[in-house]
Amino acid sequence: MTEPTASIASGSPSSSGSPSSSRGARRAARAAGEPTPPSGIRRIRLPQKLRNLELALLLFACVINAGAIVLVQLGALGAIDTQLILLGAGLSALVLALHISMRFVARDADPFLLPIATLLNGIGIAMIYRIDIAEGDTGWDSAAVRQIVWSAIAIVCAIATILVIRNHRVLFKYTYLSGLVAIVLLLLPLVPGLGDDHDGAQVWISIAGVMNFQPGEIAKIALAVFFAGYLVRNRDSLSMVGRTFLGMRFPRARDLGPLLVVWALSMAVIVFQRDLGTALLYFGLFLVMLYVATGRLSWIVLGLSMFLAGALIASQVLEYVGNRFANWLNPFDPARYEAEVGGSYQLVQGLFGLSNGGLIGTGWGQGRPDITPVPQSDYIIASLGEELGLAGIFAILALYLLFVSRGFRIGFAGQDDFGKLLGVGLSFVVALQVFIVVGGVMRVIPLTGLTTPFLAAGGSSLVANWIIVALLLRLSDTVRNHPRLVIDG
Amino acid sequence: MSQLTLLVLQIGFLLLMWVFVFAIVYALRSDLFGQRVRKLQPDAAQAGAPAASGFPSSPITPGGGTRKPAPAPAPANGEIASAQNARTLVITSGPKAGAEFPLGRDEITIGRSADSAIIIRDDYTSTHHARLMLWNDRWMIQDLDSTNGTFLDGSRVSVPTPIPLGVPVKVGATTFELRR
């Protein structure tokens, strides 16, 4: 089976909407039919079973995304407006461009990650669009239009990642460089003039006053690469020695250094950047990768107790952390509900929204998610819960579950330790972020401001998560490209 | 647009989302529940029978293989296979007897799952059965809690064990050894 050279050129990100979809149909038809005889071609290809499965799921996801936008318009406007649907179609074309570039450079990559990410991204856009309608934002004021543009940038970044990084082991060489990059990115918002104090948390930078960016989101990828490389190099001393106490082998005091450094880093994030969620995310990531690398439970016990101690002290000393804890424990206390600063109004409105949704939701465009403050970013899960109900939320959580399980799977099947750790780290960071946000909104843990991966409005988060998708795809491709032997009984 | 139509559309949308979820789950079912076991073919059963008895037979099984396996050089001194002295993994009995697999520095996973390096699809092999890895430059075999066990020279492997050169390792109905 051969590919005409022309499709390499049109497979680039610049391709427009219509040709990709017709090419997609042709591919599907070709996959179903007999292999074409080679006629003046350079090499013969096997049918790309995985890629065809991916294409089918991808088209399915695009159909659901279009359906969501149409339903929003029917529910909220009562009529269909073609402009945003066209923008959405452009996005589908980009996703298909990513799919096509994978046919050339990552043929054996996992077929499920891309459709899942596409569907989550599309549902997020539909919800943000629905909030825009409620708040009367149009044009460039509209968060949905900005989200679509950011998604396009993010997918282009993902295509670039998959084209540039041909083997994940390249990243191993840049272990310490990516550690440095992570620290610099974390410090950027604290630089005077560049930082942008946004809702109390100093995690934003503002470029020329136009573009707001959250460098911490990109830092989590750099940190995952750094932790993976560092732990592969140093895990022997972290796992082999130590003394046994209470049935667990605890590390020597001098091996506690890395854990203490990361702990201090997260505490600094809590104190200086006033961002509890990000601190929990970084620390949790390090702890899990340390556990996976060494296989010793004592690290988890030590690390969790250190973090809990730090968080408890912070809740006593720092006012904003104390407010979060109080809101979590007592949201329906009238004093808390009516407090001007740091009250539980948002949390309670989110809970009301979720309960208004019930089992199957009020329907797209028919609930009132806009009552909750920031319904399109931090609280998008409550908005979705109101309009799609329990059934919709569970479908979304199931999608995250599948995404993360594929990531762990890629890590598990990895042939080298660095790839394994990186795969587990990258997918765990998505899982932990979903847990922190959804748990915060649903009052399982104290609420902290993080974006819901793929769903929430926010460019930096989209870019970071699409790069994670690209890296996982790259990892899964290298895993399958190893020598294999099949013995059929 | 009437409320009823919108309700029907809403339910349709939710159904579509769940169909998507289950489409993915269906597509990766072999990952969740393990590969479907194929019926043993007569010659494979033959190859399986002596192997299943616990005695790794000498490489005489013609099996389904097209060429006879090379006779083992069998260095009886029991030298441990290391990254330096072991070059290939040779299947000595089973359906693919005679096949060789190059040894690099990467670990080699063995099992029924499609992402194993050596995929063995028979009744006796678990989804993730065992793995070979380099520990301090020595090749070790580790059993990954398989149902039917991994046998090194006839005895069941319970902890990661170094593999001597030329000593048979049995996984399901397949036996292999490491050679120079």
What is the band of B40 on the pLDDT scale with cuts at 50, 70, 90?
A: very low
For the full predicted model, state whether its pTM sits above 0.80: no
Count of CB atoms within 10 A of residue B118's CB? 26
- Identify the DSSP state of A188: G
Residues 6+ positions from A247 with CB-CB distance below 8 Å: none
Q: Which candidate in A232, A394, A487, A488 is best for mutational testing of the B interface (most B CBs within 10 A)?
A: A487
Q: Is B68's Cβ below 8 Å from some Cβ in A?
A: no
How near does any CA of chain A get to the CA of B21, in Å? 7
Check: complex ipTM more than 0.85: no
The residue extents of the domains of chain A are 1-47
Closest in B14, B96, B125 to A392, CB measured: B14
What does the pLDDT average to over A63-75?
A: 91
* Closest residue, chain A, to B104 (C-alpha): A483
Nearest to A385 by CA among A429, A442, A450: A442
Report how far residue A219's alpha carbon sits from residue A216's, in angstroms, rounded to the nearest whole number. Answer: 5
As a whole-number percent, the residues of chain B with pLDDT over 70 amount to 71
Report how far residue A277's alpha carbon sits from residue A246's, in angstroms, rounded to the nearest whole number. Answer: 32
What is the band of B23 on the pLDDT scale with cuts at 50, 70, 90?
A: very high
What is the band of A210 on the pLDDT scale with cuts at 50, 70, 90?
A: low
Chain segment A348-406, per-residue pLDDT in tens: 999 999 999 989 889 898 888 888 888 888 899 999 999 999 999 999 999 999 999 99
Closest in A61, A366, A391 to B14, CB measured: A391
As a whole-number percent, the residues of chain A with pLDDT over 70 amount to 82
* Contact (CB, 8 A) for A319 and A329: no
* Contact (CB, 8 A) for A409 and A473: no
What does the pLDDT average to over A313-333?
A: 86
CA-only gyration radius of chain A, Å: 23
* Closest residue, chain A, to B171 (C-alpha): A487
* Closest residue, chain A, to B124 (C-alpha): A489
Residues 6+ positions from A6 with CB-CB distance below 8 Å: none
Report how far residue A231's alpha carbon sits from residue A258's, in angstroms, rounded to the nearest whole number. Answer: 10
Which residues of chain A lie closer than 8 angstroms to B21, CB-CB?
A: 395, 398-399, 402
Nearest to B75 by CA among B170, B180, B159, B148: B180
H or E, element range at B10: helix B3-27
* Interface contacts (A, B; CB < 8 Å): 126
Q: Name the burial class of residue A311, with classes exposed (0-12), middle (13-18) and buried (19+) by CB atoms within 10 angstroms of its CB.
A: buried
Q: Is B22's Cβ below 8 Å from some Cβ in A?
A: no
Report how far residue A285's alpha carbon sits from residue A291's, in angstroms, rounded to the nearest whole number. Answer: 10
How near does any CA of chain A get to the CA of B73, in Å? 22
What does the pLDDT average to over B30-37?
A: 58
Nearest to A463 by CA among A13, A471, B93, B161: A471
Q: What is the pLDDT of residue A194?
A: 65
Query: Is the Cβ pair B17, A60 closer than 8 Å?
Result: no
Q: Which candidate in B2, B6, B16, B174 is best for mutational testing of the A interface (most A CBs within 10 A)?
A: B6
Q: What is the pLDDT of residue B112?
A: 84
What is the band of A245 on the pLDDT scale with cuts at 50, 70, 90?
A: low
CA distances from A438 to A128, A149, A322, B112 (A): 17, 25, 20, 37
Which residues of chain B lie closer than 8 angstroms to A392, CB-CB?
A: 14, 17
- Identify the DSSP state of B77: T
* Closest residue, chain B, to A70 (C-alpha): B9
Whether A460 shows a pLDDT value over 50: the answer reads: yes
What does the pLDDT average to over B75-104?
A: 80
Query: Is the Cβ pair B123, A485 closer than 8 Å?
Result: no
Whether A424 shows a pLDDT value over 60: the answer reads: yes
What is the band of B179 on the pLDDT scale with cuts at 50, 70, 90?
A: confident
Query: Is the Cβ pair B48, A119 closer than 8 Å?
Result: no
Chain segment A471-489, per-residue pLDDT in tens: 999 998 887 666 667 777 6
How near does any CA of chain B get to the CA of A294, in Å? 14
What does the pLDDT average to over A25-31?
A: 43
Report how far residue A479's alpha carbon sits from residue A481's, in angstroms, rounded to the nearest whole number. Answer: 6
* Closest residue, chain B, to A410 (C-alpha): B115
Closest in A388, A479, A487 to B14, CB measured: A388
Q: Which residues 140-159 on chain B approach chain A with CB closer than 8 angstroms? A: none
Q: What is the pLDDT of residue A146?
A: 87
